[in-house]
Amino acid sequence: MRIVLIGQAAFGARVLESLLERNEDLVAVYAIPDKPGQRPDPLKEAAATKGIQVIQPRTYKDDAVFSEYKALSPQLTVMAFVTAILPERYFSVPKLGTINYHPSLLPRHRGGSAINWAVIMGDTRTGLTIFWPDGGIDTGPILLQKEIEIGPEDTTGTLYFNHLFPMGVEAILESIERIKAGNAPKIPQKETEATYEPLCNDRVAGIDWMRPGEEVHNLVRGCDPQPGAYTHFRGRRVRFFSSKLVRETAAAAPGTILGIDERGIHAAVSGGRVIVERMKTETGNKVAAAEVGSKLGIRVGDRFAADV
C-alpha cells in the first residue's frame, strides 16, 4: 500500500518508524517548514535518515503543491499531528482515503487544544479518534475511538505522553489494518454533540481567583505543560504547574497564600486550597514553587492578583 504521511513532532516521527517496522510502502513525508535558528522537526529528521522523500510546503493551497501530491499517487494518506488545514481536494486523491488522528472523543473538543480543554472543563474521560477528514475542522466520519479516564491530578502533559501518544500510534496502525481488511467503518459524527474551543494560550490561561476552586485547579492542570496558568505577584507574572486541590473550609480570600512548605505554595480558593508544586517567572525555568516564592519574597498572608 502506497502511503503518504503528513505530520510533525515526535508523534509523527514515531508513526513513521512504526509504519516502516511494518514494512509499509511510505512514498513521501510532508513535514512542517524549517524555522530559522531551530533544529529540523523530528519527523523530517526521521524521514531523512531513512531516505524517504520529505516535502515541506508553506501552504497546501498552492496548486503546484497539490499537483506534486497528486503525482505521488498515494493509496492512503495518514495525518499524524497536523495543525495545517488541508483543502478538501486532497482527500479525494488516495483511493483508500485519508485518516487523521485527533486527541479527543470527537465530536467533543474539536480544535487544536483538545486535551487542554478536556482537563480545563473538568471532563472525567477523554480519548482519541481516528477519523476520515472532509475539509472541516475535525469533521468527518469516525473510524475508531479509544477512551481513557482523566484522574484528578492528570495534566495535559501526563494524558498525552503517558496515554494519548502511545495509544494514538497503535490506533493508527489498527486503522490501517482495518482498511486493508476492508472493514474500516465510517460512523457519522453527531453534530448536536459537537464542541469547538480556541487554542489554549494566554488569552485563556489567566487565573480568576473568584472562580470555584475546582475550576482554578483544572485550569492549572489543563495549561500544564503549556502555556502555564498564570497570575501576578507584585506586578510580576508567575505561572503555575502541578497543582493539587484540597477541599476544606477556607476563611481567607481567594488567592491568599496560606502556607509555603516542601509540598509547594498553598493558596486559598473558593471551597479549599490549591497546592502549587512548581512555578516559573517570565524569565526563569520551572522550579519548585517554594524556590520561586523565596526569590519573589512571597510570604504567608500575601495575595496573588486576579488576571481577568
| pLDDT at position 96 | 98
Same domain, 180 and 240: no
Does 207 reside within a domain?
no
Query: How many domains in the chain?
Result: 2
We report the CATH number of the domain holding residue 143 as: 3.40.50.170
Does 202 reside within a domain?
no
- Residue 119: domain span: 2-193
Same domain, 136 and 177: yes
Q: What are phi and psi of 118, to 5 degrees?
A: -60, -40
Same domain, 119 and 180: yes
Q: DSSP 3-state assignment of 70? A: helix
Same domain, 78 and 129: yes
| pLDDT at position 250 | 74
Query: Which parts of the chain register pLDDT below 70?
Result: 306-308
What's the whole-model pTM score?
A: 0.96
Same domain, 38 and 172: yes
Same domain, 161 and 265: no
Does 305 reside within a domain?
no
Write the pLDDT tens digit of every residue in 108-120: 999 999 999 999 9
Does 308 reside within a domain?
no
Last residue of a domain, one of 193, 226, 256: 193
Q: Give the number of other CB atoms < 10 A from CB of residue 2.
A: 17
Same domain, 258 and 151: no
Pairing of strands 54-55, 2-7: unpaired
Burial zone of 268 (CB within 10 Å; 0-12 exposed, 13-18 middle, 19+ buried) = buried
Same domain, 218 and 180: no
Does 149 reside within a domain?
yes
Last residue of a domain, one of 162, 193, 224: 193
| pLDDT at position 307 | 54
| CA 103 – CA 193 distance, rounded (Å) | 16
Burial zone of 54 (CB within 10 Å; 0-12 exposed, 13-18 middle, 19+ buried) = middle
Write the pLDDT tens digit of every residue in 223-243: 999 999 999 999 999 999 999
Same domain, 69 and 29: yes
| pLDDT at position 308 | 44
Same domain, 7 and 126: yes
Same domain, 252 and 292: yes
Does 199 reside within a domain?
no
We report the CATH number of the domain holding residue 263 as: 3.10.25.10
Same domain, 177 and 284: no
